[in-house]
Chains A and B, each alone.
Chain A
Amino acid sequence: MSTKSPAGSRPLSPFMLGQYYRFQWTSLLSFAHRISGIGLSLGTFLLAGWLVALAGGPQWYAAYSAHLTAWYGQVLLFGWSWALMYHLCNGIRHLFWDIGRGFELKTAERTGYAAVVVSLALTAAAWAVACFA
């Protein structure tokens, strides 16, 4: 590995977007996998914070819960739940690619649609249980 900085002389990863790279459904899903993964990292930190607040006592828990039940907390929770379900479903696509299956363009497009639809269904199911069960 080089110890010299390549920055400035070579373009970094997303440079090709827009100018050189035609929009594709499958690449959009690939970006979404990475973006949802970063979101989930932050979400997992916040989950640990929830448990720390629980261990901290009633005042800490009440203060944390107030944020979770506020409108922005609910928006974040909804976004986090969808990111979790999407990353999970699309992650299963990745696991199939890892064993060498599902690379045909038609298959990759169809499993991509399936990942989005199933992730939305799982998210709706979880929220339906939480709100109406």
Chain B
Amino acid sequence: MSLRSPLSRARGLGSAKQGVHHFWVQRVSAVALIPLALWFAFSVAVLATGATDYFAVRHWVSAPSVAVVLVLFIGTALYHSMLGVQVVIEDYVGSEGKKLAALLLSKFAHAAVAAAGIFAVLKVALA
């Protein structure tokens, strides 16, 4: 039997090596979003030069290349947004209770919007 306290034992194990996870995934998603965001902005601009009625936009979304990149863009943008909003909440919400509630609300909202957006693209593309 060890006489070391649990805290001492945990300290002896060194760092969990997870400290930079948030930083790192925020940067990875940022790099991915450079081409994705430019593609999206200019694709929508080009789309707007023609008809933007229901059938024209459905036709655009249903092209496999567009649908795949749209899914990547929505997923990556909302993941990056979730990480960013988390930092803003942690910086500006003082009380621990309100902070936890805001973080949960933000995470659930981002997950729900990502699921709805991606499902919508797939529903149109696979129709």
Contact = CB atoms under 8 A, between A and B. Distances in A.
State whether these chains interact: yes
Contacts of B9: none
Interface in A77-125: 81, 84-85, 88, 91-92, 94-95, 98, 122, 125
A73 to B, nearest CB: 12
Interface string B17-37: 000000000010011011001
A54 B88 CA distance: 32
B29 to A, nearest CB: 10
B88 A34 contact: yes
A55 B119 CA distance: 9
Interface of B: 27, 30-31, 33-34, 37-38, 41-42, 44-46, 48-49, 52, 54, 57-58, 61, 70, 74, 77-78, 81, 84-85, 88, 91-92, 94-97, 109, 113-114, 116-117, 119-121, 123-124
Nearest to A59: B54
A47 B78 CA distance: 11
Contacts of A30: none
Given A12-B92, A91-B30, A130-B49, A58 B119 contact: no
B45 A51 contact: no
A133 B113 contact: no
A133 B49 contact: yes
Nearest to A85: B41
